[in-house]
Amino acid sequence: MHRARVMGLCLVAFVASAAAEPKPWTISPPAGWADHSPAANAVTTVDAMKAKMAEVGGSYELGLWEDDAGSRLTVLYMNVPAGAETGGARVRGWEAGARGGVNKDAVEISYKTQATERLLVAHQENEGNGVKFRSVRMAGLDKANALVGIQASCAGSEAVCGPALASLRLDDALFRPLASSSTESRSSKDPAYEAGYIVGVLLAILGVVALLGKLTRRRIE
C-alpha cells in the first residue's frame, strides 16, 4: 500500500514536471496590453488556417495582445514534422512562404534575413489597409528534424513594438546546425513553403485587419 502510494506520488510529480516544461519560445508583450489569445483562436479565419496547417502535418500556438488604442502584437509558433528536403532548403522554403503570405495582402516596405549557426532570422516591414506593421521570424530544425518556425508581428509605435519584437526568443540550443544550402523551395506544393505561407497570411490578417479587433472585443465583452 505504501509502495503504491509512493509510486502514485512519483507519477503525479512526473506529470507536474512535464506540464511545467518551459516553452521553446518567449516574448515580452508591452506592459498593460490585454491578452486576447483565446478570442483570436476562436475566430473563423483562424480555424480555417488551423485545418490547412493540419493538412501539411503541422501544429501551432497563437498569441495576441492589444492595447486600448488598437495597437496589436501577434505571435504564431508552429511545428511541422520531418520532411525529405535538406535542412537549408526546408528552412528557407518556410521563410519564402511566410514572406509571400504576408505580402499577399500587404505591401512590403523592407526585408532582410540573417543566418546564425542554427536559425534563419528575418525582419520584414509591411503596410496594409493603411496600417504599418513589422514582423520578426525565426526558423530552424529541431533535434527530431522537425521544422520549427515562429513569427511575431506588431502594429503600433516604434516605442512599444521595437522592444516587444526585440524580446522574441527561440531557444537555439534545441536546434540542429543548419546545413549550408542556397536552395529556396518556392513551390506551393512544398510542405515547408505551404506551412510558411499559412503563417504569413494568418499573421497579416491578425495584425492588420481592423475587423478582427472588433471580433475579439465582441467575444470578450
Question: What pLDDT was estimated at residue 159?
Answer: 92
Phi first, then psi: what are they for 120, rounded to 5°? Answer: -100, 125
Mean pLDDT by 10 residues, the chain (221 residues): 36 32 83 90 73 75 89 90 70 89 91 93 92 93 88 93 95 82 48 74 58 40 33
Give the pLDDT of residue 202.
66
CA distance 168 to 137: 9
For residue 2, the model assigns a pLDDT of: 43
Stated pTM of the model = 0.76
Q: How far apart are the first and last CA of the chain?
A: 51
The whole-angstrom separation of Cα 102 and Cα 76 is 13
Amino acid 154: pLDDT: 94
Structure confidence at residue 29 (pLDDT):
95
Q: Which CATH architecture has domain 24-220?
A: 3-Layer(aba) Sandwich (3.40)
What is the predicted pLDDT for the residue at 108? 95
CA distance readout (Å), 182 to 85, 114, 199: 13, 13, 22
- pLDDT at position 211: 36
The 10 Å Cβ neighbour count of residue 150 is: 24
pLDDT of residue 99: 92
Q: What is the pLDDT of residue 197?
A: 77
Measured CA to CA, the distance from residue 29 to residue 52 in angstroms comes to 28
What pLDDT is attached to residue 150? 94
The SS3 call for residue 77 is: strand
- The 8 Å CB, 24+ separation contacts for 142-147 are 142/79, 142/174, 142/175, 142/176, 143/174, 143/175, 143/176, 144/82, 145/82, 145/176, 146/79, 146/80, 146/81, 146/82, 147/79, 147/80, 147/81, 147/82, 147/83, 147/90, 147/91, 147/94, 147/192, 147/195
Q: Looking at residue 210, what is its pLDDT? A: 41
